[in-house]
Amino acid sequence: MRSTLCRSSRFLHFLLLALGFPAITIAQPLPRSVTVASNPPGTVFYALASGLAKVAGDGAPFSMVVQPYSGTSTFLPLLDSGEIDFGINNAVDMALSYQGPERLKIGGRNPFQHTPNVRLVMRGAILMTALLVRKDAPMKSVLDIRGKRLTGEYPAQLANWYNIFGFLAGAGISFADVKIVPVPGANEGVDALIQGRADVALHAVDSAKVKEADAAVGVRHISLDCSVQGEKRLRAAVPGYYPHWIKRGQAAAIAEDTCVNAYDIYLTTNKSLPDRVVAMVLKNIWDNTDKLLPLHPSFKDWTRQRAVDADVTMPYHPAAVQFFKERNVWPAAMDDAQRRLLALNP
């Protein structure tokens, strides 16, 4: 529909020129709704997508509709082709998919389909993930999980394989040191923990699924190896990861001061999405960041100050570049970063 409207506008433009009318600018009609893809309900990504959709759609001539998928790997090809308009993704996934398996591998693998047409709207909150055990389990940290049943594989959510890989590598542990319980996604991994089929699972910190598990059987997160050497191993294993300490009681299942994994969350789009749509969504979020925090705790880090950064793993959409330049938050170093990232997919 979008391409048909665009062709009709161009035809009208050229017809008026042929009839002797002066050149005019014909704005492409705005869509009635746009989609933002996310992970399933119960995940932090779904909560973030829902909050952004609410704020971005307020006062806009279109609605923003959340479309949940089983995971990033299932909807990234649709984002790349323009079948969906926006996505909630993480920096590591986007580095792998934007560069593609021929250019970038982590842990010797990159199962993502190449997505050269994806673009960044803004850098958002910090995603924090951690290992999860039952409250009465003897494990205190990742160093105690040798020989335990650990959820893994995650074919629907490839990002979680990198989480597990990074956690183990940071602790100097290999996959051979644990017993992998195959699950498709993070929610199913927590279900396996609740049902007693796994000893250790993985999920985002303070997610609805973790709270559900805590209410059902009682769970707690355990720390990564955040020693100096452990941090070096984590950062080397998965570029973009970094350790982050959370104080006791600051999130669900944080029973004591706990070191978790952190990396950045992005609002993404396709390079062909019209500038007016991208600019309008971005403006509504930019002008109303104060309305985000009441919607989910993770929005505390979805700030104007974090929106632009030279260490992002994919290039910004042209409308986002223009938006940030107009607000004087696009330093000169960003032009170099943008050129470097665009050069990866000429």
pLDDT at site 28: 65
The total number of structural domains in the chain stands at: 2
What mean pLDDT do residues 297-302 have? 91
Q: Is 165 exposed, middle or buried (0-12, 13-18, 19+ CB in 10 A)?
A: buried
Whole-angstrom distance, CA of residue 254 vs CA of residue 106: 29
> Do residues 186 and 40 lie in contact, with contact meaning Cβ atoms separated by under 8 Å?
no
Instruction: Using pLDDT thresholds of 50, 70 and 90, give the confidence band for residue 170.
Output: very high
Where is the domain boundary, 236, 263, 290?
263
Tell me: do 253 and 199 sit in the same domain: yes
Q: Tell me what pLDDT residue 72 has.
A: 85
Q: Which two tokens stand for residue 326?
A: 């107009």
- Res 19: pLDDT: 53
Same domain, 36 and 103: yes
Indicate if the pLDDT at residue 2 is higher than 50. no
Average pLDDT over residues 195-199: 98
The whole-number average pLDDT for the span 212-226 is: 97
Residue 115 CB: number of other CB atoms within 10 A? 24
Q: Are 51 and 295 in contact (CB under 8 A)?
A: yes
Q: Are residues 120 and 138 in the same domain?
A: no
Q: Are 252 and 42 in contact (CB under 8 A)?
A: no
Measure the CA angle with vertex 121, ends 104 and 311; round to 5°. 45
* Residues 258 and 270 reside in one and the same domain: no
Mean pLDDT (whole number) for 272-294: 96
- 221 with 324, same domain: the answer is no
Distance between CA 344 and CA 27 in Å, rounded?
31
Over residues 23-32, mean pLDDT: 64
Last residue of a domain, one of 212, 246, 263: 263
Residues 6+ apart with CB under 8 A from 294: none
Question: Where does the pLDDT of residue 18 fall: very low under 50, low under 70, confident under 90, or very high at 90 and above?
Answer: low
Q: What is the CATH number of the domain that holds 241?
A: 3.40.190.10
Indicate whether 256 and 284 sit together in one domain.
no
| Under 8 Å between Cβ of 68 and 40 | yes
> Same domain, yes or no, for 150 and 256?
yes
Mean pLDDT of 300-305: 95
Let me know whether 154 and 68 are in one domain: no
Do 252 and 136 fall into the same domain?
yes
Average pLDDT, the chain: 91
Q: Is residue 23 over pLDDT 60? A: no
Give the pLDDT score at 159.
Answer: 84
Same domain, 117 and 83: yes
Distance CA 95, CA 155 (A): 18
Q: Distance between CA 291 and CA 153 in Å, rounded?
A: 37
pTM beyond cutoff 0.95: no
Q: How confident is the model at residue 339 (pLDDT cuts 50, 70, 90)?
A: very high
Asked if residue 313 and residue 189 are part of one domain, the reply reads no
140 and 259 assigned to the same domain: yes
3-state secondary structure the chain: CHHHHHHHHHHHHHHHHHCCCCCCCCCCCCCCEEEEEECCCCCHHHHHHHHHHHHHHCCCCCEEEEEECCCHHHHHHHHHHCCCCEEEEEHHHHHHHHHCCCCCCECCECCCCCCCCEEEEEEEEEEEEEEEEECCCCCCEHHHCCCCEEEEECCCCHHHHHHHHHHHHHCCCCHHHCEEEEECCHHHHHHHHHCCCCCEEEEECCCHHHHHHHHHCCEEEEECCCCHHHHHHHHHHCCCCEEEEECCCCCCCCCCCEEEEEEEEEEEEECCCCHHHHHHHHHHHHHCHHHCHHHCHHHHHCCCCCCCCCCCCCCECHHHHHHHHHCCCCCHHHHHHHHHHHHCCC
Its domain, for residue 96, covers 2-125+265-343
The last residue of a domain, from among 263, 289, 307: 263
Mean pLDDT of 124-146: 96
Structure tokens at 73: 């790997």
For residue 27, the model assigns a pLDDT of 57
